[in-house]
Amino acid sequence: MLTTMGVVFLVCMVLGVPIAFCLGITAVVSLILLDMPLLVVAQRIFTGMDSFPLMAVPFFVLAGDLMNVGGTTVRLIRFSNALVGWIRGGLAHTAIVSSMFLSGISGSAVADASAIGGILIPGMSKEGYDVDFSAAVVASASTMGPIIPPSILMVIYGVTTGVSIGALFAAGFIPGVIIGVSLMAVAYGISRKRNYPKLARLSWREFIQALREAVFALVAPVIILGGILLGVFTPTEAAAVAVFYALFVGIFVFRELHLEDLPKILIQSGVTTSILLLVIGTANILAWVLSAEQIPQKIAQMMLGISQNPYLILFIINIFLLIVGMFMEGGAAIIILAPVLAQVAQAVGINPLHFGFVVVMNITLGLLTPPLGVCLFVACGIARISLVQLVKAVFPFLMVEIGVLFIVSYFPWIVLCVPRLVGYV
């Protein structure tokens, strides 16, 4: 049965069928072969979406779209430019720091790549940066979106496995900063080698002016994350607060968001959310079929049969998930695989919160790997270059991020430090 499911899924992928339908078709074929009622399809799609914590997903998507249109992204970029633009390769560092700030609002790598890439990739090209380097910086930096909280993938992982979403959010702080600093180091090395430009250092008055313009944008992550970590509201409620804050700031403070913009933003957010929820629903059917056939238990037994050493198990799972991320959408991969792998991790004594973050980071790196690297396609579209060019340019950044992945895998205190400080562990 597993072979049949794999063949059907791969055929659908090769034919270019959207991932949600690949999962659904594979599940339906499996149900027919197992002589199970097709009523299960509707039931499991509804069950997969029917979760209160998942309400955070459309709210975070909408908040991100509102802030992009309302002027938040532009102000964050200006402030980031004032903060790090004077370093060699200044605009590359601006893109990375802007992504770090925006990650604290949107929770989505694709949203970050679109918002920042649309502004900075053309700007970097005008300043003399190679276009493939510009696209690579933006694509790589955007992967901090699901790692620095809030994170849509963390919400899905928490719903799927029962791990605290707030704890997962807290776990992303330090690794996210490490990734950002590491990407800046790579960008600096390449910029020095190619003699990319840097901006003049701003005076204190100019810096304070940039900070003053960005203060409402910078407060947004503080409200969202501070409220969650202090127990003021749940992640779902925080997402709703983010929407109202984005509306208020965009309309009354920045005055760049107008009522006539709202229908387009709502439709765009609705389409994005619908795609995500459809993937979650169809992945839930496939997960149910796999569970009914006891395939997760067999996979767990096979892995534990290889070794009981937690370090070796982590290595095997990391390699496995990096490969999975190349071919499967992140939310679907988590729903199908996370419960299985979490059982294996628990059996060898790996902390569930630490393991949850490692899974999310693995899946996130799939956004940078062909053939399904969505952030690559977003950056390619903006920069108008081929995928081959971008893959070559993004390689050093990807290697550094994989290095950080293995560091946080084998030094769990990096992940667990902040959750312990705020009382989650």
Band of the pLDDT at 92, cuts 50, 70, 90? very high
* 25 contact partners, CB below 8 Å, separation of at least 6: 8, 12, 17
Q: What pLDDT is recorded for position 1?
A: 66
- Who's near 414: CB < 8 A, 6+ residues apart? 174, 175, 178, 407, 408
Q: Which amino acid is at 271?
A: V
pLDDT in tens, 127-181: 889 999 999 999 999 999 899 988 889 999 999 999 999 999 999 999 999 999 9
CA 380/CA 333 separation, integer angstroms: 24
Give the model's pLDDT for residue 193: 93
Average confidence (pLDDT) over 93-116: 86
What distance lies between CA 142 and its chain's CA centroid? 8
In whole angstroms, what is the distance from residue 421 CA to residue 7 CA?
Answer: 47
Beta-carbon contacts of residue 369 (< 8 Å; ≥ 6 apart): 322, 325, 326, 376, 398
User: Whole-angstrom distance between the N-terminal and C-terminal Cα of the chain?
Assistant: 40
Half-sphere exposure of 397 (CA within 13 A, CB side): 33
**Cα–Cα dist 263/259, whole Å:** 8
Q: How confident is the model at residue 111 (pLDDT cuts 50, 70, 90)?
A: confident
Residue 4 has pLDDT above 70, yes or no: yes
Q: Is residue 370 pLDDT above 70, yes or no?
A: yes
Q: Return the amino acid letter for 294.
A: Q
Of 56-65, 98-107, 352-361, 372-381, which has the strongest mean pLDDT? 352-361
pLDDT confidence band for 309 (50 / 70 / 90): very high
At residue 95, the pLDDT reads: 93
Closest CA to 352 of 365, 333, 336, 339: 339
Contact 299, 340 (CB under 8 A): yes
Please state which of the ranges 118-122, 277-281, 294-298, 339-343 shows the lowest mean pLDDT.
Answer: 294-298
Rg (CA), the chain: 21
Q: List, for residues 175-204, the tens digit of each pLDDT value.
A: 999 999 999 999 999 999 999 988 888 888
Q: Name which of 95, 91, 67 is nearest 214 in CA terms.
A: 67
What DSSP string describes 108-166? -HHHHHHHHHHHHHHHHHHTT--HHHHHHHHHHHHTTTTTSSS-HHHHHHHHHH---HH
pLDDT at 36 over 80: yes
74 sits in which H/E element: helix 72-84
State the pLDDT confidence band at 38, using cuts at 50, 70 and 90. Answer: confident
* Secondary structure of residue 52 in the 3-state scheme: coil
Task: Give the model's pLDDT for residue 72.
Answer: 85
Residue 265 pLDDT greater than 70, yes or no? yes
Span 72-93, mean pLDDT? Answer: 90
Over the stretch 317-369, which tens digit does the pLDDT of each residue have? Answer: 999 999 888 878 888 889 888 988 998 999 899 999 999 999 999 999 988 98
Q: Is the pLDDT of residue 23 over 90?
A: no
Q: What DSSP assignment string belongs to 245-300?
A: HHHHIIIIIS----GGGHHHHHHHHHHHHHHHHHHHHHHHHHHHHHHHTTHHHHHH
**High-pLDDT (> 90) share of the chain, %:** 38
What does the pLDDT look like over 225-262, one tens digit per residue? Answer: 888 877 788 888 888 888 999 899 999 998 898 989 99
For residue 130, the model assigns a pLDDT of 93
Please state the pTM of the whole predicted model: 0.89
The mean per-residue pLDDT over the stretch 94-116 comes to: 85
Exposed/middle/buried for residue 315 (C-beta within 10 Å: 0-12, 13-18, 19+): middle
Distances (CA, A) of 347 to 8, 75, 228, 313, 342: 32, 47, 30, 10, 9
In the 8-state DSSP scheme, what is residue 225? H
Q: Taking all residues of the chain, what is their mean pLDDT, rounded to a whole number?
A: 88
Place of tokens 């390699």: 319
Residue 283's alpha-carbon distances to 20, 90, 116, in angstroms, are 7, 42, 30
At residue 5, does pLDDT exceed 90?
no
Q: Are the beta carbons of 117 and 379 closer than 8 angstroms?
A: yes
Instruction: Kindly tell me the burial class for residue 222, based on how many C-beta atoms sit within 10 Å of its own C-beta (0-12, 13-18, 19 or more).
Output: exposed
Q: How far apart are CA 210 and CA 230, in angstroms?
A: 29
Q: What is the pLDDT of residue 125?
A: 87
For residues 289 and 27, the answer to whether their CB atoms sit within 8 Å is yes
Give the residue extent of every domain in the chain: 2-421
Of residues 297 and 260, the one with the higher pLDDT is 260
d(CA 423, CA 404): 25
The pLDDT value given to residue 425: 67
